[in-house]
Amino acid sequence: MNQNFLRVIAVSLTALFITACATPQLAVPAPPTTYSNPEYVIGAGDTLQVFVWRNPELSLTIPVRPDGRISTPLVEELVVANKTPAQVAREIEKRLSAYLKDPLVTVIVTTFVGPYNQQVRVLGAATRPQVLPYRANMTVLDVIIAVGGLTNIAAGNKATISRTVNGQVTQFSVRLDDLIRDGDIRANVEMAPGDILLIPESWF
């Protein structure tokens, strides 16, 4: 064997050794979400406007309590969490029918929080880490704008999204530095209800 050949073998073995010792990638790139955007369901903390036609004394704006219930005139302790506004309206009509003839009720959500399991959580090196209500077609860029961007010590390209898929928690990688600081729109991925965005700090 000549020396050039031995050098090639040595370089190849070194490369294989480095690859084998490298830290495994824990997260994979986030795929497009297939979330179908069903009708909005009410969550604790939402504010509802209850309108009873021709009965202004029964109409009011009311927050949903932490236990997911509301109480309105003539309707006490009504569970509204995880129901659509239309479902709540029909239940109020049913309760009011004991007092009114053919009541007509409309329920409008005026402040949105959403059910706990559909909220998007942002943790770590965001300017304002917080819980956000999920919105249809929400992307990671929407989330970063809502939390005021990244801190100066954020390791944006090491951020991950934890998502529950078929009962299993899966971690996806996201490239926030490439998206925000370099303007690479290809790094803008869709969010799904219940996602947790974790932004680590840079150690150097």
pLDDT tens per residue, range 10-29: 444 344 334 334 434 456 67
**Cβ atoms 154, 103 nearer than 8 A:** no
* pTM score: 0.76
Query: Domains, the chain, ranges and CATH?
Result: 47-111 (3.30.1950.10), 119-204 (3.10.560.10)
The contacts of residue 110 (CB under 8 Å, 6+ apart) are: 47, 48, 49, 61
**Cβ atoms 114, 38 nearer than 8 A:** no
Using CA atoms, how far residue 78 sits from 8, 64, 65, 75, 122, in Å, is 76, 10, 11, 7, 32
- Going by C-alpha positions, the residue among 164, 165, 130, 158 that lies closest to residue 144 is 130
Task: Tell me how far apart the alpha carbons of residues 35 and 33 are, in angstroms, rounded to a whole number.
Answer: 6
Tens digit of pLDDT for each residue in 92-104?
999 999 999 999 9
Q: What does DSSP assign to residue 164?
A: E
Which residue type does 200 have?
Answer: P
**pLDDT score for 35:** 61
Task: Tell me how far apart the alpha carbons of residues 189 and 175 are, in angstroms, rounded to a whole number.
Answer: 9
**pLDDT score for 75:** 96
> Per-residue pLDDT averaged across 151-176, rounded?
95
CA dihedral 119, 122, 123, 126 (to 10 degrees): -160
- The whole-chain average pLDDT of the chain stands at 87
